Amino acid sequence: MERLEFSLARGWHRLLDADFAPHAQGQLIAAIASQKAREIGLVKGRQVKWEKYTQTFMSPFMGRLGDGVRFPFKSRRVSAFLLGEPTLRNPFHALFVLLAMFGSWQEIESVLCATTSAPDISISATRPTKHRSSAEDRVRWLAASINILPETCRLYESLRSTYPYLSHSAIRAQLPSMNALAASKERLSACGVQFPEEDISQLLDATGAAHIEKQAQSLIRAGVAYRLSRMRLLKDHPLRNSWQHEDVRARSPKTAAALKEHLETWAMFRRRLLPEKIRSGLVPGLLPKQAGEVDNFTDQEVHALWLSHSCFVRRTCRS
C-alpha cells in the first residue's frame, strides 16, 4: 500500500513539474490509458470488460487507494476514459487509472516521455447512439429498482463481503444498473442491511493520525530547517490533498487532533531551531552553554533573538 501511495504522490509531483513531458495533456493521457486498457484486455471494441476491470482496479490495495482519492470506480466517466476520451477532470483519478494498469510510476513515466503524440485508438465499431431519457422513464426505472430491493440487498452484501474495504458509494457502483438505482443506504437499511460504523473514512483518519505522528518525529529528528506545516505533515498520505474539504475534516477527528498537536506555528518553529543556532555561536549576546535556557524565554524574546540571529547571519555573509 505504501509503495502505491508513493507512486501516486511521485506521479502527481512529476506532472506538476512544468519541465516534465509538457506534451502530456488530457487527450494524450486518455489515449495512452485506452491503448493500455486494450493491451491488457480491459477494453474490447467499444466495451469495457467489467470482470477484468474489477480484477485490475479493485484488488485490496488498489481498492483502498482508489477509495482514498474518491475514485468513481464504475461510472460513465471512467468507461469513457478507458475508451480514450479525456473525461476524468480530476488528475488524481486519471493517474490512479494509469497506476492500476501499468503497475508503477516508472512505467507510466517511461511511456509518457516516449509518446509525443496520441496513439491511434480508432476502431471500426461505431459509437452507440445516445437516447435522452424522460422524467417518466426515470420514475418508472426507480419504481422497478425498488421492487427488486431484496435481490439488491443480497448482491450488496455479497459485494461488501468480497470488498470490505470499499465505501458504500463504491460498492453501489458495482451493482447492475437497475439494482443500483434504488440502493441508497436508507433503503438498504430499511430492508435489513447492517452498516458497520467503521468505514474507509475511519481507516483514513486512523492512518492519517499515525502518519502525522511518524512524520513529525522523523522531521524533528532530522532537524529540518523548515516549519512543520500541514502539507509537510501529511506528505504522501491520501488526506493531504483532500483536507481542504470540510466534510473530510469532519470525518477525521484523529487526524485533526494529530495536526493540532504537531503542526508548528512560526513561534514553535523558531523555538525548535534556536538552541542549535545558539550552540553554533550564531546568536549574538548568548553563549553556547545557554542553549538550554530557550524554554524559559517568552515567544517575544525568542522572536527577538531570532531576528538578531538573522541579522548576524546576513552581516556575516556580506563580509
Per-residue pLDDT of the chain (319 residues; tens, 9 = 90+): 556 667 777 777 777 666 777 776 778 888 888 889 898 888 888 788 877 888 888 777 787 778 777 788 777 888 888 888 887 877 778 888 888 898 888 888 888 887 766 555 554 344 444 555 577 878 888 898 899 999 999 989 888 887 776 778 778 877 877 888 899 988 998 999 888 655 567 778 888 899 999 999 999 998 899 999 999 999 888 888 789 888 788 889 999 999 999 999 999 999 999 999 999 999 998 999 999 999 999 999 999 999 999 998 888 877 6
**DSSP 3-state of 23:** coil
Which of 243, 218, 221 lies closest to 230, judged by CA? 243
Q: How far is CA 15 from CA 25, 245, 304, in A?
A: 10, 23, 41
What whole-number distance in Å separates Cα of residue 238 and Cα of residue 241?
A: 7
Cell readout for 210 is: 499515525
Q: Which pLDDT score is estimated for 303?
A: 93
Say which residue the cell 435489513 belongs to. 192
Q: Which pLDDT score is estimated for 125?
A: 40
Q: Which pLDDT score is estimated for 92?
A: 79
Cβ-based neighbour number of residue 160 at 10 Å: 18
The rounded Cα 82 to chain-centroid distance in angstroms is 20
Which of 156, 155, 163, 154 lies closest to 54, judged by CA? 163
Q: Is the pTM higher than 0.85? A: no
Q: Tell me if 277 sits within 8 A of 287, measured CB to CB.
A: no
Q: Which pLDDT score is estimated for 2?
A: 56
Q: Tell me if 97 sits within 8 A of 81, measured CB to CB.
A: yes
The rounded Cα 117 to chain-centroid distance in angstroms is 28
What whole-number distance in Å separates Cα of residue 160 and Cα of residue 171?
A: 7
Phi, psi angles (nearest 5°) of residue 89: -75, -25
Radius of gyration of the chain (CA): 26
Q: Which pLDDT score is estimated for 241?
A: 79
Q: For residue 111, give the amino acid letter.
A: V
Q: What residues does 43 pair with on adjacent strands?
A: 48
The DSSP string of 18-78 is TTS-TT--HHHHHHHHHHHHHHTTSEETTEE-HHHHHHHH-SHHHHHHHHHTT--SSSHHH
Most distant pair of Cα atoms in the chain: their distance: 84
Say which residue the cell 538550554 belongs to. 292
Q: Tell me if 191 sits within 8 A of 153, measured CB to CB.
A: yes
Q: Which pLDDT score is estimated for 124?
A: 37
Q: Tell me if 48 sits within 8 A of 83, measured CB to CB.
A: yes
CA angle, 156 then 157 then 159, to 5° = 65
